[in-house]
Every structure is written in C-alpha cells, then in structure tokens.
Chain A
C-alpha cells in the first residue's frame, strides 16, 4: 500500500496572501493620492451629467402631480418669496452698517466670493466632503472659507487642483471648530459628528435652547449651525447640545468661496 502524503501548504499560501495584501495596500496608498487631481478632472463631467440627470428625473415626477396641488404650491411659494424679500432688504441694511463699522476699525468688508458648483456631495461620500468645480485656475487656494451663497459657512478648501477643489466641511467627524453661541455670546467648541451635524459640550449652567444660532466668529459672524436638541442629565455637571447646519447637504448645488 502506498500512502501519499500531501504537504500542507495552506499556512504558507495564507502568509503569502497576507504579504500580497500588505504590499498592495502600501503601493496603493502611495500611488492613489497622486491621482486625485486627475480623477477629479476625468470624473467631473460624469458627476455633472449625473447631477443633471437626477434633477431631470425629479422634475419628471412633478409632471404627474395634480394641477390643484401645483397651483397651491405656487401660491405658497409666492407668499414665502415675498416674506423672504422683506427679510433680505432688512439684512442688506444691517450688512451695510456692519461693513461701515468694520472699515472704521480697519477691517475689510467681506467680498461676494467666487461661486462654484458642487459636483460631488454626501451621500456619495460617507465623509462630509464636497468636490467643487473651481480650482487654482479660479484663484482658489487651500484654507479659504466655503459657504452657501448668502448663507451659512460650511467648511474650508482642503485641497485645490487646477479645475476642482476638495472642501472639508466643519461637520466632518472629529473636526473641532471654535464658534460662538449667539445667546449670551458664549464661546463653544463644535465637534463634527458627520452628516451635517455637530455636538458641543456646555456647562450645566449655560443657557441654550433648541433653535439657538451658532455663529462663526465675534468680528464678522456668519451662521454655522442651529441647535437641534439639548441633552441634560441631572447627575452630570455638563450638558450636550446637538446642532446641525441649516442646509441640506445632499441637495447642495452651489457654494461661495471667500478669500480670507
């Protein structure tokens, strides 16, 4: 009787495969970051086409809505626009006063900034990162503040390529940002939790309510977030407030980049 014993190579092949995985990870981690600008340039028209297609599909769904529903929505929107027009006029007066005060103290008034289209946004990414279609050729540089046009600030330019830029939002998980709670002008630290949300820890005696606004800085305050919930435990010496950006990141189309 001949007994053939096969060599057990499974442990060797597993070790070999682990080494291959480690090598692939290291090589990829070195090579892939170098291709980011190229990938953005190549995928930019694809993402723009996808955004246009999504909007087209959404508009198509309106085709099936009843005439009465559309008329009612039109009336509601007209009334809302009229109310917002009055509010904008009031804000313009205040903004003019603010700019003259800033110039009196030697500070430049804020400029309109550069407008850019958002070509990639959550939930395509699980991180709070935007890709915009403006880059070095549009004088966009790293560190510049990104905001919604005439609206809250969202984040800063993290990386700038020739025609695109990557914007990391303040709500990115783990990102810490100093801000001011409008009520009592209390300095706070916002900790990003992802998904357009912040968390802040406040002393138990601090006054904060749902709906309170959180501003960016005391000199030229811009809206950053709105408090959505306050969690307080009687046995603890602090309370936790949850806030969120007052903008739907998943439908964000345009942003404004301000030169600092």
Chain B
C-alpha cells in the first residue's frame, strides 16, 4: 500500500468520524501535496452526500466544486515547489 492510498483511507475515516474542521483541512493539504489529487473530488462528494442536502448551492455539492477548483488551481502552483519534482518520480 503506497502513501497516497493510505492517506485516502485516513481521509475517508476522518470524514466518517471526525468533525469538519479536521477533515476539511486534511483534504486541502492532501490536494496540495499529492500530484493531481483527483480522489479529493470523491472525498468531497462523500462529505457532501453524508452531511449536506439537495438544496445547497451547486446541486448540493459545494465542497466538491471547491475541491475541483482547488485541484485546478494547484496544478500550476505545485510546479513551483521542489516536492513536486520528487513526487512525480
């Protein structure tokens, strides 16, 4: 099991068990540190499905939209950091 899979499992458990002020920053940090963290969209969808409701903005998935935007924003930003080259190896 590699680091990315382990982190995803931890994030799923934190979404199920922990308060939002724990899992939201963890998802944000993971989105920044892992290259193209597309799994974050599903994690955000899971949080919105469990704890949101249909009448929320963006068809009831505001967190998923925010996560999608962050992934796109972090794509060029990550290239500026040294860990980006190491994580792409």
Interface class of chain A by DSSP: helix
Closest to B61 in A: A29
Interface size on A, residues (CB 8 A): 32
Are B41 and A21 closer than 8 Å at their CB atoms? yes
Q: Does B17 contact A (CB under 8 A)?
A: yes
Q: How large is the interface on B (under 10, 10 to 19, 20 to 34, 35 or more residues)?
A: 20 to 34
Residue pairs across A and B with CB atoms within 8 Å: the count is 86
Q: How far is the CA of A230 from the CA of B25 in the complex (A)?
A: 34
Q: Which residue, of B45, B50, B76, has the highest number of chain A Cβ atoms within 10 A?
A: B50
Are B36 and A17 closer than 8 Å at their CB atoms? yes
Chain A residues with CB under 8 A of B85: none
Chain A residues with CB under 8 A of B76: 14
Are A46 and B36 closer than 8 Å at their CB atoms? no
Q: Does A39 contact B (CB under 8 A)?
A: yes
Are A127 and B59 closer than 8 Å at their CB atoms? no
Add 19 more A-B contacts to A17-B36, A24-B38, A126-B51 (CB < 8 A).
A21-B72, A22-B68, A24-B68, A25-B64, A29-B45, A29-B61, A29-B64, A32-B46, A33-B49, A33-B60, A36-B49, A39-B46, A39-B49, A50-B17, A127-B51, A127-B52, A158-B53, A159-B53, A168-B53
* A/B interface sample: 17 pairs, CB < 8 A: A17-B72, A17-B75, A21-B41, A22-B68, A28-B42, A32-B46, A39-B46, A120-B50, A120-B51, A124-B18, A126-B20, A126-B51, A127-B51, A158-B53, A158-B55, A168-B53, A168-B55
